[in-house]
Amino acid sequence: MVRRTDTRQRMLDSAAELFHQQGYHATGLNQLVAAVGAPKGSLYFHFPGGKEQLAAEAIRQSADRLCDQLRTIVANSPDVVTGIRNVIDALATSLEESDFQRGCPLATVALDASGDSEEIRQACADGYTSWHTLISEALDTEKAGHLATVILASIEGGLLLAKTLHDTAPLRAIAPHLADTLERELS
């Protein structure tokens, strides 16, 4: 017997993957429930706010998971500069392994639906804020907030270009430039 929480979590996991790859508008309700093998009514049972609620929760889950992965990468690196390089390498490798289907777990939905839904916009904003905070705390300098914005914007832009071009070169190209910037700013 499948427990209620199992179905709900499977829906979140499937939605996160589908929204990540296809965006919000290209992912239909029938596709979401079919991916889990659940009746359509179960979506509304677990997510009374429908697709919008499911999307916002899936985005938050994806953002939290990536934040945890980034935190681990940075913590296991000898210094923050190497940590940022390792994060970029991990993101590039993940993009390649997915055959350029999975870039940033927030960007596709943020570009697709954040103008239509305050709930989705806020979920995306919270995700980006958590990543920004992680980077800022790792930098531990007066300029941390500014530098974290430059790093996050560079990585997001690099991911978008790499996904669009089916080539990780744009993403990998930012690593040495960010490293140079950080070494200069942190010395």
CATH number, domain with residue 182: 1.10.357.10
Structural domain including 153 reads 58-186
pLDDT at 3: 52
| Structural domain total, the chain | 1
Contact partners, residue 88, CB within 8 Å, separation at least 6: 155, 158, 171, 172, 174, 175, 178
Q: Which amino acid is at 35?
A: A
> pLDDT value at position 115?
87
What parts of the chain have a pLDDT lower than 70?
1-5
Q: 161 lies in a domain?
A: yes
Q: How far apart are CA 44 and CA 50, in angstroms?
A: 6
pTM of the complete model? 0.91
Query: What are 45-64's pLDDT values in tens digits?
Result: 999 999 999 999 999 999 99
